[in-house]
Amino acid sequence: MALEFDTSFDPAYGRAVTVAPDVLRITAGNPSPFTFHGTNSYLVGRDTLAVIDPGPEDDAHLETLLTAIAGRPVSHIFVSHT
């Protein structure tokens, strides 16, 4: 039995994508064998947010995060890997 990998994915660089209620995904433009299409960061919440994996040191990614945060308070920042 061979494994079949679904590699279809629209990273939507430069914008936040809703992936579940009150969950946004922002993909950094740093594709590689390790990151696939790029590092994914997540914003969770509505009025107050948690940031999961804020991403690489990249000005465009930071600008997209700040735009999606839109001045709301961030109560938590979680880093799930180095």
Q: Tokens 């209620």 — which residue?
A: 21
Dist CA 18 CA 44 (whole Å): 10
**Domain membership flag for residue 3:** no
Dist CA 11 CA 28 (whole Å): 8
The total number of structural domains in the chain stands at: 1
Dist CA 77 CA 23 (whole Å): 14
Dist CA 10 CA 1 (whole Å): 28
Q: Would the pTM count as exceeding 0.95?
A: no
- Which domain range does residue 61 map to? 17-78
**Domain membership flag for residue 11:** no
pLDDT of residue 46: 98
Q: What is the pLDDT along the chain (82 residues), one digit of tens a residue?
A: 788 888 888 999 999 999 999 999 999 999 999 999 999 999 999 999 999 999 999 999 999 999 999 999 999 999 998 7
